[in-house]
Amino acid sequence: MPDLLLELFSEEIPARMQAKAAEDLRRMVTDRLVAEGLVYEGAKAFATPRRLTLTVHGIPARQSDLKQERKGPRVGGAEAAIQGFLKATGLASLDEAKIQRDPKGDFYIALTEKPGKPTLDVLAEILPMIIRTFPWPKSMRWGERSAKPTSLTWVRPLHSIVATFGLETEEPEVVPFELNGITSGQTTRGHRFMAPAEISVRRFEDYEAKLQAAKVVLDPQRRKDIILADAKELAFAQGFELVEDPVLLDEVSGLVEWPIVLMGSFDAEFLSIPGEVIRATIRNNQKCFVVSDPKTGKLTNKFILTANIEASDGGLAIVAGNERVIRARLSDAKFFYETDLKTKLEDRLPKFENIVFHEKLGTQAERIARIVRLAAEIAPLVGADVEKTKRAAQLAKADLVTEVVGEFPELQGLMGKYYALAQGEDASVAAASEDHYKPQGPADRVPTDPVSIAVALADKIDTLVGFWAIDEKPTGSKDPFALRRAALGVIRLLVENKIRLNLVSVSDFHSSVLDETKMRMAQAKAKVSGGFSVIANAHTTQLWNGRQVRVNSFDLLNFFVDRLKGQLREQGARHDLVDAVFSLGGQDDLLMVVRRVEALAKFFDTDDGKNLRAGVKRASNILGIEEKKDKRAYDGAPDAALFKLDEEKALAKAMAEVGPEAGAAVAKEDFAGAMTAMAKLRPAVDAFFDKVKVNDDDAAVRENRLKLLNEIRAATRAVADFSKIQD
């Protein structure tokens, strides 16, 4: 079957848009073909800086014919109906219609056949339409035709279109169409500088080979492979190692059609700048790779660039030019870094008084002060030195106003660490500058130094409590302040470091700290407006775990619970167990929640666990039905005198032993122990259901047995609410 070759040749397409554009082209053309009844065998799309190319192979040469049967009016029906039928079906007269008999009578039937169109014609219709509606993130008009409102828009000016269709064995045909003054054909061009002449192509195979000969590597993956292999080779040849950078590799491969990898160097004196600053300078500004020395693990004074031409001097001028630019850039970076070192971090803090963190949450200075207070509060709970923690929290954000971070925002925190170390701060204090931002995502490292943990928790909890206080919670897919990430960060910090923290209490404490900021802002506002300053600092509270807590603290706890469930679900763990634990109430210590969940999960993997849960469930179901029927609850202790059967007595006895044992284990936070105790109930529960009829004819006995069932349910609540557990 024939193949399609399509190439859209334009001025330079932004690197970041190429991969998606190739995929969009493939999807749009193949979807449209299928919609036209043309099922193809395979398709592949490619992009270079100057072209989008699609090959679709194995397309039928024409659409199949479409047979249609259409029922018309009754034989001898109204003349108007018959005329309408003839007109709609295109029949010349009723002689061309068939007559069909069905239970309701005889009807005219029109059999029409819509012949399938040649695929070439279909392509000539759909290709211009796809090009016109192509979803570029940003597109533009150009040239003389841009004066007309119907002018084509494309990512950059489109120059030519190759569109051929045909069998391997034959000369393919051009899919004929015209678009914005461009007539489709079979002519393209090679490399802009090395092979600018026109090339005539027939189909994908000769197209790709001719481009290769004209210094164009069509496949982006091949360009990436070439760059990576050559870069590694160049570094290796000098005893160094390429610092791999997949994101940069993607971008660089979208900037060249014919990658030529070259190595340059810079003055070794620049190595006094931190490696990350050198890398950011060379990568962000120059799109070059850096190189490290495997002996030291540190950067060397080399860089690797990817040119787009085989220069006539072997690349000497290109390397020299890049070296000059990199020298100038590194001079700037070195100047910034050395300027930064002249000012102590604490001396930068007054600047934060003029930087607004959020218009409703005060200045950065106020936020830093809040983080200091909360971090100091948390420090003893995580085993961190309070004074060091306060110092760390004080300095953690100071690098935001340094020159280097101003130039390279992605180096925030890291620069703070370097500057803190340079001014002789304690290592833990310095580390907190970098680590208090962590973890930033599921793959990011969780800090383990207690000082960093305290500041990281305080930073995230201040963010959460703050945005909760001004009602800027995430909704649906919108989470502009990354609050979900902050909550997940808190969870990982607590669980992975085995830290116990009562989140409701912490959130209540910090809300009152935040009140001071809000008070200050309200006073300032009142002063500006010249009016009275009546500051109301109202907040609503609710009863939680036997005390009044802020509604926001409780709401935030639920937010954490949801995140925890989501996290467990992603890890393939049983998130329903989280519900079973939380519905016990009063649980705001996430570490304990996770421990209970783990113990439960293990227990329910055993036969004892499974059977006990089945027994408890049965007890709950019976109770539920009977309580509903009788409109009363069966709480209160059962009366031992009313037990008639041994199994009843045995169950009551087991419960009397297991209850306190499990309770004692829970009190010691030995959840596995509580489960082991619980397991002892199983034989008694099984025997009870085996031998005992709950709904005894004697009402007193029945009531007593229901109370016994209620005891089972109550006893298991020492660890979890079994009714929330899914099968």
SS3 223: helix
| 105-114, strands of its sheet edge to edge | 66-74, 105-114, 98-102
156 touches another protein by CB under 8 A: yes
**Identity of the residue, 142 or 481, whose beta carbon is nearer to another protein in the bound complex:** 142
Question: Which window, 232-240, 286-294, 446-454, 503-511, contacts another protein (CB under 8 A)?
Answer: 286-294
The residue within the footprint of another protein, chosen from 73, 157, 185, 663 (CB under 8 A), is 157
Tokens found for residue 277: 């600053």
311: CB partners within 8 A, 6+ apart = 260, 317, 318
Question: Which window, 229-237, 283-291, 478-486, 576-584, contacts another protein (CB under 8 A)?
Answer: 283-291
Question: Which window, 313-321, 360-368, 653-661, 665-673, contacts another protein (CB under 8 A)?
Answer: 313-321
The residue within the footprint of another protein, chosen from 142, 265, 505, 608 (CB under 8 A), is 142
Least distance (Å) from another protein to the CB of residue 31? Answer: 28
The residue within the footprint of another protein, chosen from 93, 133, 312, 475 (CB under 8 A), is 312
228: CB partners within 8 A, 6+ apart = 242, 244, 249
Answer yes or no: are the C-beta atoms of 450 and 431 closer than 8 Å.
Answer: no
**Identity of the residue, 262 or 694, whose beta carbon is nearer to another protein in the bound complex:** 262
The residue within the footprint of another protein, chosen from 11, 225, 250, 515 (CB under 8 A), is 11
Amino acid at 378: I
Measure the CA–CA gap between 215 and 198, rounded to whole angstroms: 13
145 touches another protein by CB under 8 A: yes
286 touches another protein by CB under 8 A: yes
195 touches another protein by CB under 8 A: no
Least distance (Å) from another protein to the CB of residue 259? Answer: 11
**Identity of the residue, 325 or 519, whose beta carbon is nearer to another protein in the bound complex:** 325
209 touches another protein by CB under 8 A: no
**Identity of the residue, 52 or 666, whose beta carbon is nearer to another protein in the bound complex:** 52
320 touches another protein by CB under 8 A: yes
Least distance (Å) from another protein to the CB of residue 584? Answer: 50
180 touches another protein by CB under 8 A: no
309 touches another protein by CB under 8 A: yes
The residue within the footprint of another protein, chosen from 58, 84, 294, 321 (CB under 8 A), is 321
**Identity of the residue, 17 or 614, whose beta carbon is nearer to another protein in the bound complex:** 17
The residue within the footprint of another protein, chosen from 15, 126, 411, 577 (CB under 8 A), is 15
DSSP code, position 215: T
478 touches another protein by CB under 8 A: no
313 touches another protein by CB under 8 A: yes
Measure the CA–CA gap between 227 and 306, rounded to whole angstroms: 7
Least distance (Å) from another protein to the CB of residue 173? Answer: 27
Sequence-distant contacts of 483-488: CB under 8 A, at least 24 apart:
483/559, 484/563, 485/440, 485/441, 486/460, 487/460, 487/559, 487/560, 487/563, 488/439, 488/442, 488/563, 488/567
* CB-side neighbour CA atoms (13 Å) of 362: 25
Answer yes or no: are the C-beta atoms of 580 and 724 closer than 8 Å.
Answer: yes
Taking the alpha carbons of 326, 332, 336, 338 in that order, is the dihedral positive or negative? Answer: positive
Least distance (Å) from another protein to the CB of residue 177? Answer: 19
Question: Pairing state of beta strands 187-189 and 198-200?
Answer: antiparallel
Answer yes or no: are the C-beta atoms of 4 and 185 closer than 8 Å.
Answer: no
670 touches another protein by CB under 8 A: no
318 touches another protein by CB under 8 A: yes
SS3 4: strand
Residue written as tokens 């500057």?
419
One character per residue 256-275, x = contact with another protein (rule: CB under 8 A): x-------------------
Answer yes or no: are the C-beta atoms of 59 and 119 closer than 8 Å.
Answer: yes
CA torsion 240→246→249→253, rounded to 10°? 140
Least distance (Å) from another protein to the CB of residue 404? Answer: 17
Give, as ranges, the residues between 538 and 597 that touch another protein (CB under 8 A).
none
**Identity of the residue, 191 or 518, whose beta carbon is nearer to another protein in the bound complex:** 191
Least distance (Å) from another protein to the CB of residue 356? Answer: 8
The residue within the footprint of another protein, chosen from 78, 99, 111, 140 (CB under 8 A), is 140
Give, as ranges, the residues between 44 and 63 that touch another protein (CB under 8 A).
49
89 touches another protein by CB under 8 A: no
Answer yes or no: are the C-beta atoms of 316 and 264 closer than 8 Å.
Answer: no
Question: Pairing state of beta strands 158-166 and 3-10?
Answer: antiparallel
423 touches another protein by CB under 8 A: no
695: CB partners within 8 A, 6+ apart = 626, 702
| Longest alpha-carbon distance in the chain | 107
Least distance (Å) from another protein to the CB of residue 368? Answer: 19
**Identity of the residue, 5 or 152, whose beta carbon is nearer to another protein in the bound complex:** 152
Measure the CA–CA gap between 534 and 154, rounded to whole angstroms: 59
If we measure between CA atoms, which residue out of 433, 524, 512 comes closest to residue 465?
512
Least distance (Å) from another protein to the CB of residue 247? Answer: 15
Measure the CA–CA gap between 119 and 122, rounded to whole angstroms: 5
372: CB partners within 8 A, 6+ apart = 390, 393, 394, 458
Amino acid at 297: G
The residue within the footprint of another protein, chosen from 70, 159, 360, 618 (CB under 8 A), is 159
Amino acid at 36: E
The residue within the footprint of another protein, chosen from 57, 141, 344, 520 (CB under 8 A), is 141
Measure the CA–CA gap between 618 and 66, rounded to whole angstroms: 62
Least distance (Å) from another protein to the CB of residue 333? Answer: 14
Answer yes or no: are the C-beta atoms of 301 and 308 closer than 8 Å.
Answer: no
Least distance (Å) from another protein to the CB of residue 146? Answer: 4
138 touches another protein by CB under 8 A: yes
14 touches another protein by CB under 8 A: yes
685 touches another protein by CB under 8 A: no
Q: Which helix (H) or strand (E) holds 160?
A: strand 158-166
Number of residues counted as binding another protein (CB under 8 A): 44
Binding site for another protein (CB under 8 A): 11-12, 14-16, 49, 138-147, 155-157, 159, 193, 255-256, 286-288, 305, 307-309, 311-313, 317-318, 320-322, 324-328, 331
